[in-house]
A and B are shown apart, each in its own frame.
Chain A
Amino acid sequence: MNNRPERNTGNNTVLRTRNLGKQVSSPEGPLTILDDVSLEIGAGETVALIGPSGAGKTTLLALLAGLDRPTIGDVQLCGEDLTAMDEDGRARVRGRHVGFVFQSFHLVSSLTALENVMLPLELAGAAGAAARAREALDSVGLERRTTHYPKQLSGGEKQRVAIARAFVTRPSILFADEPTGNLDAASGDRVADLLFNLNEQSDTTLVLVTHDRELAGRCDRIIELEAGRMVS
């Protein structure tokens, strides 16, 4: 858990998709919401997914993280073929390699900030969960808020807790769906800074969906979607 074996296999690609597509059924018949997406993302890279609303950004992110299955094509995450796996297999891969930051934070309201951060460690059965979680909260500047419940935190603080939670397992790749979407400019910037700092420090690959051109501009690469297709 502490080291990431896959990163040292000599293969520098963390994420690879081929001809990825997703169709859903709608009252008017089948609807293609994602079409023929092939991409490769290297270790430590930062990638922004942009595009107008309804373009399929969230859809793509869900497929990349194995939260959903594609109708066609495949996804390789850290050398493992997500498409060939069942839900539990994908969950294990996520547990080992993936961190998440969501637009709406998704903190568990009955848990304190510290307990929220401990959650992924507890799930993975890691030792010293409390100490590591404290450290993670420290690194997002919330060391004095450990015993607070989510409803006692501001949006920016919540998102920082979420970031601590995402990084505490030292994932190979971190997915963020509009991490600053619910925040004002100042706390949005702070959250973004944190994401990029932690990315640098831990060499974690960062894939984020955003509407914020500026935020996207800070990434190594921008992938633009339109109507379910990659346009750049």
Chain B
Amino acid sequence: MTSWSFAVKSLLRDLRAGELSVLLIAIIIAVTAMTAVGFFTDRVGRAIKQQAGSVLAGDLVLRAPAPPDPSFIDEARRLGLDATEAMSFLTMVLPADVDNESNALTQITAVGEGYPLRGELLVAAAMFGESERAAGIPERGTGWAEPGLLGRMNLDVGDRVRIGTVELTIARVLEYQPNQISGGMSAMAPGLLVNLADVPSFGVIRPGSRATYREFFAGPEADIATFRQRLESAAGDGIRVSGLEDAGEQINSAIDRAQRFLTLASLVTVILAAVATAMAARRYALRHLDTIALLKSIGATQSFVQNSTLSQLLLVIIGTASIGSALGFVAQQGLVLLAPATLYIELPPTSWTAGTLGLLTAATITVGFALPHLLMLKDTAPIRVLRHDMPPPKLSSGVTYGIAIGTLLLMIYSIVRDLKLVAYIAVGVGTVALLSYAAGWLLVRSLTRFRGAAGVAWRYGLANISRRGTESIVQIVAFALSLNVLLLLTVVRGDILQAWQATLPEDAPNYFLINVDPEQWPDMRAFFETELGASPEFLPFMRGKIIRIGGTPVDDYVFPGDGGKFFVRQESNFTWQGALPETNRITAGKWWGADYTGALQASLDERVAGRLGIGVGDTLGLNIGGEEFDVPVTSLRTIEWDSLRPNFYLMLSPGEVEDLPQTYVAAVYVPRDRRLVLNQFVRAFPGVTVFDLDVIMSQVRMVIDRASLSVQYVFLFTLLSGVIVLLAAIQATRDERRFESALLHTLGAGRRKILQGIAVEFTALGCLAGTLAAFGATAIGYVMAEQVFELDYTLNPWLWPLGLVLGSVIVGATGTWATRKAVTEPPVAVLREV
């Protein structure tokens, strides 16, 4: 018989006998978690990209202060891209009904056929009516009005309004339209959406009128990228081109964090599953030594044993990968269902790349963690059939653990691609394992000398811990790891998610005021103080260009990629500031400090620095309002964009630049029901642009909420894998316990006594493991929150007592329960085996 068909047969037999259950379940859980998250993040990732598109209304947007060259649109269509156009301007809108004396300065957006290319318009048939997706754009002679406009003018659907010389019928209430954030700031005025073809008839646009023209393009990524280059080289003065990657830094930042949560959860799942796999594989191997020795005594060669082991593992990989991926796919559908319907996007279909992840996960875990233990089977000495007590073949632990840990780190890295995160995980898990090992060793050692006056059960249970030696230590490590995860998932997860949600509280500033003249500032502050009792935060705002990098003019500078080139081509916004904003974190170098007054320094966003290919110590040449500065970069920062505060890639130290021409940018929270205050504000400070953050805020909140929900869901798998480790650890000593208790039985010990002994043993192990786990959870939670998620973490004092109690109860109860059969089985049955 070939080793292959033998492998298939004996695998089926082992399956039937339940020998492989823990091993298979562990791998399947890992695969399920990885693929569920893989499928999900893959889909969410693509959905988010589309989301960015729906914010822009297209994949690529050109914005110009004058009608742009119409050939762009023709050219795009020739290239197979979708294209459309829009223009917007402010004008006075009056009710057609002469009795109604209201009027409103209105933001008219006139759109062409096909608008929006990405995202959609939501409309309702009446004020506060059910909203639905609009099919198409307003028909000629009609307009769709935002509720604000209708409210201000006391109108409803069906009423008519006058713009310039013509009348339009209000056909719909416009509930939502893509918000062109990156193109500029949507003005405060309420909006009316009309058909572009009607604009000439209004007679309000003449040469020189202030209006913004936009052209939208959408299509395959590569074509868009080519077309963008074409646009950028042809675009003239005042024209800005923005693409998906310029849109929604805020949303990207939120989704980034969400992905870290999800990835982390699935990684921890995989690590735990790997631990469980290794334990289960070891047990499997030990239980099969006799069988292998027997096979060898009746003629099986080493290569036969090895080949059949390898074939079995291959089957295990294929089997677990298929089952796990299928489960992952189903689980992911659940994950999608959980997502709140507030997001007006559909998730794109599943891509199969995530499916290969399943195969990879199964293979890595099996090869890295099960293989070394199972391969040792081929070295079983055949003489074991005659001498039962032959030690099992030596497993070179250095190689085994080396392979396992190496594989794991590689796998983590290949998924996270973030050395820092990998290091945290490795150090975190390693420390917990090492500490548990040390503590377990201490316990075992101290119990060797234990001669308590306590009852028999106590003495028996505690003596067992020390008698089992290494096995007890391994159990403590495994229990501690799984309890650690339980605690992390129940307590710390909640704390971190809360901290995350707290980055965007209900009263976070929801309006940016841009273009504030510093002279106006005191009046403006007074306005908000009297009207809202709030004082806006503000930052100086200046524009300039980066002209030199490390002394080299940007035209001659070699950028690491295109990102950097784009960044310096356009004017940048800077600010100067003494104190580090709380939404920024220094990642390299040193912040100058609130009271700094010395020579000019610059602090740069970490990613921008990467795109420019510079770091701390390099100099940037800046041109600000005609004056040139060479400024050393003294620190790099990461920015919490999802906090939605005014933030700047480039910040300068106070002092030298304070007297340059500049404006302020301010952020203020205006409660929904007080929004009309802004009307007075716009009238009182006409030069100031008011930028509404509500749409983007609700999008960021949506991402956070949805991510929190999915994280909870994925953590379920992690929880499961924690439980599996627990089971594997309990199983590890089960065979031994069965024989022991059968023996004790025959020697006359009562069931209760034996059970009590076992309970004492497990409870003691669990108590220690729980305490260690609480320690680990606190440390890991802190590091995770502060370093990985960059959130402020507050220590939860409940962790410690919880860990101790949970550990004793969970391990004590499940351990005793799982071994209970060993005690209740009639001893003959046990002693009769083999």
B383 and A104 form a contact (CB under 8 A): no
Q: Determine the distance from Cα of A111 to Cα of B18 in the docked complex, in whole angstroms.
A: 12
B207 partner residues in chain A, CB cutoff 8 A: none
A115 partner residues in chain B, CB cutoff 8 A: 13
Q: Determine the distance from Cα of A115 to Cα of B296 in the docked complex, in whole angstroms.
A: 17
Q: Please, what's the 1-or-0 string for A84-100, where 1 marks a CB less than 8 Å from any CB in chain B?
A: 00011001101110111
B383 and A62 form a contact (CB under 8 A): yes
Q: Determine the distance from Cα of A96 to Cα of B295 in the docked complex, in whole angstroms.
A: 13
B735 CB, min distance to chain A CBs, angstroms: 11
Determine if B233 is an interface residue (Cβ-Cβ < 8 Å): no
Choose from A58, A100, A105, A123 the contact partner of B1 (Cβ within 8 Å).
Answer: A123
B6 partner residues in chain A, CB cutoff 8 A: 122-123
Closest 3 A-B residue pairs measured CB to CB?
A95-B299, A110-B17, A88-B301
Choose from B13, B294, B832, B834 the contact partner of A110 (Cβ within 8 Å).
Answer: B13
B700 CB, min distance to chain A CBs, angstroms: 56
24 contacts between A and B (CB under 8 A): A67-B297, A68-B381, A87-B302, A88-B303, A95-B300, A99-B298, A100-B385, A104-B388, A104-B834, A107-B834, A109-B17, A110-B13, A110-B14, A110-B17, A119-B295, A120-B298, A120-B299, A122-B9, A123-B298, A123-B304, A124-B1, A124-B299, A150-B833, A155-B832
Q: Please, what's the 1-or-0 string for A10-43, where 1 marks a CB less than 8 Å from any CB in chain B?
A: 0000000000000000000000000000000000
B832 partner residues in chain A, CB cutoff 8 A: 151, 155
Q: Please, what's the 1-or-0 string for A34-74, where 1 marks a CB less than 8 Å from any CB in chain B?
A: 00000000000000000000000010011001011000000
Q: Determine the distance from Cα of A95 to Cα of B294 in the docked complex, in whole angstroms.
A: 11
Choose from B299, B302, B304, B829 the contact partner of A151 (Cβ within 8 Å).
Answer: B829
B17 partner residues in chain A, CB cutoff 8 A: 109-110
A125 and B298 form a contact (CB under 8 A): no
A62 CB, min distance to chain B CBs, angstroms: 5
Which residue on chain B has the smallest CB distance to residue A68? B383
Choose from B298, B386, B834 the contact partner of A95 (Cβ within 8 Å).
Answer: B298
Determine if B85 is an interface residue (Cβ-Cβ < 8 Å): no
A58 and B386 form a contact (CB under 8 A): yes
Which residue on chain A has the smallest CB distance to residue B293? A106
Q: Determine the distance from Cα of A120 to Cα of B295 in the docked complex, in whole angstroms.
A: 8
Q: Determine the distance from Cα of A87 to Cα of B295 in the docked complex, in whole angstroms.
A: 13
A88 and B383 form a contact (CB under 8 A): no
A123 partner residues in chain B, CB cutoff 8 A: 1, 6, 295, 298-300, 304
A154-193: which residues lie under 8 A (CB-CB) from chain B? 155, 165, 169, 177
Q: A67-B386, A95-B299 are in contact. List 11 more A-B contacts (CB 8 A).
A: A67-B297, A87-B296, A88-B302, A91-B300, A100-B298, A104-B388, A106-B385, A110-B16, A126-B1, A150-B833, A155-B832
Q: Determine the distance from Cα of A88 to Cα of B296 in the docked complex, in whole angstroms.
A: 9
A94 and B16 form a contact (CB under 8 A): no
Q: Determine the distance from Cα of A105 to Cα of B302 in the docked complex, in whole angstroms.
A: 23
Q: Determine the distance from Cα of A138 to Cα of B585 in the docked complex, in whole angstroms.
A: 81
B834 and A92 form a contact (CB under 8 A): no
B270-300: which residues lie under 8 A (CB-CB) from chain A? 290-291, 294-300
Determine if B451 is an interface residue (Cβ-Cβ < 8 Å): no
Choose from B291, B299, B381 the contact partner of A94 (Cβ within 8 Å).
Answer: B299
Determine if B683 is an interface residue (Cβ-Cβ < 8 Å): no
B833 and A100 form a contact (CB under 8 A): no
Determine if B382 is an interface residue (Cβ-Cβ < 8 Å): yes
Which residue on chain A has the smallest CB distance to residue B834? A104
Q: Determine the distance from Cα of A169 to Cα of B300 in the docked complex, in whole angstroms.
A: 14
A102 and B385 form a contact (CB under 8 A): yes
Choose from B19, B291, B296, B386 the contact partner of A177 (Cβ within 8 Å).
Answer: B386
Q: Determine the distance from Cα of A62 to Cα of B298 in the docked complex, in whole angstroms.
A: 13
Which residue on chain B has the smallest CB distance to residue A129? B1
Q: Determine the distance from Cα of A203 to Cα of B299 in the docked complex, in whole angstroms.
A: 21
Determine if B2 is an interface residue (Cβ-Cβ < 8 Å): yes
Which residue on chain B has the smallest CB distance to residue A94? B299
A147 CB, min distance to chain B CBs, angstroms: 13
Determine if B394 is an interface residue (Cβ-Cβ < 8 Å): no
B9 partner residues in chain A, CB cutoff 8 A: 122
Q: Give the B interface residue count (CB, 8 A).
A: 33
Q: Determine the distance from Cα of A111 to Cα of B303 in the docked complex, in whole angstroms.
A: 23
B834 and A100 form a contact (CB under 8 A): no
Which of A61, A95, A106 gathers the greatest number of chain B CB atoms within 10 Å? A106
Which residue on chain A has the smallest CB distance to residue B829? A151
A126 partner residues in chain B, CB cutoff 8 A: 1
Q: Determine the distance from Cα of A123 to Cα of B14 in the docked complex, in whole angstroms.
A: 17
Which of B295, B303, B388 gathers the greatest number of chain A CB atoms within 10 Å? B295
Q: Please, what's the 1-or-0 string for B799-832, where 1 marks a CB less than 8 Å from any CB in chain A?
A: 0000000000000000000000000000001001
Choose from A96, A111, A165, A177 the contact partner of B299 (Cβ within 8 Å).
Answer: A96
Interface residue tally on A, bucketed by range: 35 or more
A102 and B300 form a contact (CB under 8 A): no
B14 partner residues in chain A, CB cutoff 8 A: 110
A92 and B386 form a contact (CB under 8 A): no
B386 and A62 form a contact (CB under 8 A): yes
Which residue on chain B has the smallest CB distance to residue A169? B298
B572 CB, min distance to chain A CBs, angstroms: 71
A165 partner residues in chain B, CB cutoff 8 A: 298
Known: A88-B302, A120-B299. A61 touches B386 (CB 8 A): yes
B347 CB, min distance to chain A CBs, angstroms: 45
Determine if A131 is an interface residue (Cβ-Cβ < 8 Å): no
A125 CB, min distance to chain B CBs, angstroms: 4
Determine if B449 is an interface residue (Cβ-Cβ < 8 Å): no
Q: Determine the distance from Cα of A115 to Cα of B14 in the docked complex, in whole angstroms.
A: 13
Q: Determine the distance from Cα of A98 to Cα of B296 in the docked complex, in whole angstroms.
A: 12
Q: Determine the distance from Cα of A115 to Cα of B9 in the docked complex, in whole angstroms.
A: 10
Q: Please, what's the 1-or-0 string for B517-534, where 1 marks a CB less than 8 Å from any CB in chain A?
A: 000000000000000000
Known: A91-B296, A106-B294, A122-B1. A67 touches B383 (CB 8 A): yes
Determine if B672 is an interface residue (Cβ-Cβ < 8 Å): no
A95 partner residues in chain B, CB cutoff 8 A: 298-300
Determine if B387 is an interface residue (Cβ-Cβ < 8 Å): yes
Q: Determine the distance from Cα of A135 to Cα of B277 in the docked complex, in whole angstroms.
A: 41
B297 and A94 form a contact (CB under 8 A): yes
B295 partner residues in chain A, CB cutoff 8 A: 119, 123
Known: A110-B16, A150-B833. A67 touches B299 (CB 8 A): no
Which residue on chain A has the smallest CB distance to residue B16? A110
Choose from A68, A92, A108, A124 the contact partner of B294 (Cβ within 8 Å).
Answer: A108
Which residue on chain B has the smallest CB distance to residue A171? B298
B301 and A91 form a contact (CB under 8 A): yes
B297 and A100 form a contact (CB under 8 A): yes
Choose from B1, B301, B382 the contact partner of A67 (Cβ within 8 Å).
Answer: B382
A109 partner residues in chain B, CB cutoff 8 A: 17, 833-834
Q: Determine the distance from Cα of A123 to Cα of B304 in the docked complex, in whole angstroms.
A: 9
Known: A109-B833, A150-B833. A92 touches B1 (CB 8 A): no
B387 partner residues in chain A, CB cutoff 8 A: 58, 62
Q: Please, what's the 1-or-0 string for B10-24, where 1 marks a CB less than 8 Å from any CB in chain A?
A: 000110110100000
Q: Determine the distance from Cα of A120 to Cα of B1 in the docked complex, in whole angstroms.
A: 10
Q: Determine the distance from Cα of A123 to Cα of B385 in the docked complex, in whole angstroms.
A: 17
Q: Determine the distance from Cα of A61 to Cα of B13 in the docked complex, in whole angstroms.
A: 31
A212 CB, min distance to chain B CBs, angstroms: 18
Q: Determine the distance from Cα of A104 to Cα of B387 in the docked complex, in whole angstroms.
A: 10
B296 partner residues in chain A, CB cutoff 8 A: 87, 91
Q: Determine the distance from Cα of A106 to Cα of B297 in the docked complex, in whole angstroms.
A: 11
B300 CB, min distance to chain A CBs, angstroms: 6
Which residue on chain A has the smallest CB distance to residue B308? A123
